[in-house]
Amino acid sequence: MAEKLIFATSNQGKLREIRLILGDLGMEVISMAEAGFHGDIEENGKTFAENAAIKARAVWEKTGGLVLADDSGLVIDYLGGEPGVYSARYMADASYSEKNRVLIERLAGAKEEERSARFACAIAAVLPDGRELLTEAYMEGRIAYEPAGSGGFGYDPILYLPEYQKTSAELDIEEKNKISHRGKALDLMKEKLKEALGGMEK
């Protein structure tokens, strides 16, 4: 069994979450750069699942081994699903605090029940033998009226979770990993990996 798991990201915040969630697999989680992959991957899929698979396959073709990738984003119903699969590239040159401010402004006329939104995450894996696995999960919430919290990254400060009465950025990382789209998708992937690779200790 592979002792290293390559995760196709250079986002350090994301990598920190992933290492915590996958820690009990007993494998070292390394970034694609640490595995020797440098360069851009063209994410031209129309869904989160397609983009995750494109990333995992592109890295695997250069590195081999066990490669995981995710594609995730914020889906806002009032904006017809924006920014969706373009979440990372939305307002490409702006900071996330600026992106978050603009999204809240675009919902200025939206009533409470119209502010529904969710984080979506697809995780793709390419196994050492080339087989592919896929999982998807969501974290439902509403767009906040103003950003709150300093935890997390990206759009976390504007997704308000009514049952917790706080935004995703106000959760501590252990709490967030239990309920987040990425945490749930990674937990599902852990089970699939154990089954596919056999003999993985929990």
Provide the pLDDT for residue 24. 86
- What percent of the chain is predicted at pLDDT more than 70? 97
What are the tens digits of pLDDT across the range 176-189?
Answer: 988 999 999 999 99
The angle at the Cα of 72, spanning 183 to 180, to the nearest 5 degrees, equals 25
What are the tens digits of pLDDT across the range 57-95?
Answer: 999 999 999 999 999 999 999 999 999 999 989 999 999
Find the catalytic residue in 71, 77, 93, 156.
71
Decide if 71 is catalytic.
Answer: yes
Token pair for residue 141?
A: 């919430």
Check whether 190 has a pLDDT greater than 50. Answer: yes
Q: What is the CA radius of gyration of the chain?
A: 17
Beta carbons within 8 Å of 80's beta carbon, 6+ residues apart: none
Q: Is the pTM of this model over 0.95?
A: no
What are the tens digits of pLDDT across the range 124-142?
Answer: 999 999 999 999 999 999 9
Check whether 202 has a pLDDT greater than 80. Answer: no
Domains of the chain: 4-197 (3.90.950.10)
Check whether 46 has a pLDDT greater than 60. Answer: yes
Side-chain half-sphere of 35: how many Cα atoms within 13 Å?
27
The sheet with strand 166-167 has its strands ordered as 28-31, 4-7, 66-76, 116-126, 132-143, 159-161, 166-167
